[in-house]
């Protein structure tokens, strides 16, 4: 879809700044009190972990090679039946 991990990291960082800005704007422009400003800040602040998690997932997808490609062959060479790591000493 063209969405890169860097975009998600940027969105996460921006949501932290937007959280503070929305808290400040709500606190200074509305006469609803501190509770409402806190709710706005927390609501937007909850987006940041989601964006960072999506960024990590996209980074894994960007760096992951196809299982039929080189990584699959290397895995078979390293852990073939004759060379499986032994757990007898554990």
pTM, entire model: 0.60
Q: Encode pLDDT of 20-78 as tens digits.
A: 888 888 877 777 777 778 888 888 888 899 999 999 999 998 888 555 455 545 555 55
Scored b (16 or more CB within 10 A) or e, 59-69 reads eeeeeeeeeee
The C-alpha atoms of residue 31 and residue 19 are separated, in whole angstroms, by 19
pLDDT at 12 (0 to 100): 93
Confidence class for position 9, pLDDT limits 50, 70, 90: very high
pLDDT at 83 (0 to 100): 58
In the chain, domain spans: 5-83
The C-alpha atoms of residue 90 and residue 46 are separated, in whole angstroms, by 44
Q: State how far Cα 18 lies from the chain centre.
A: 18
């Amino acid at each position: 879809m063209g969405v890169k991990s860097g975009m998600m990291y940027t969105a996460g960082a921006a949501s932290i700044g937007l959280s503070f800005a929305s808290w400040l704007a709500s606190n200074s422009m509305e006469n609803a009190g501190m509770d409402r400003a806190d709710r706005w800040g927390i609501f937007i602040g909850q987006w940041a972990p989601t964006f960072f998690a999506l960024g990590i997932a996209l980074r894994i997808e960007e760096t992951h090679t196809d299982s039929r490609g080189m990584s699959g062959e290397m895995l078979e060479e390293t852990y073939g039946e004759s060379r499986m790591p032994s757990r007898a000493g554990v």
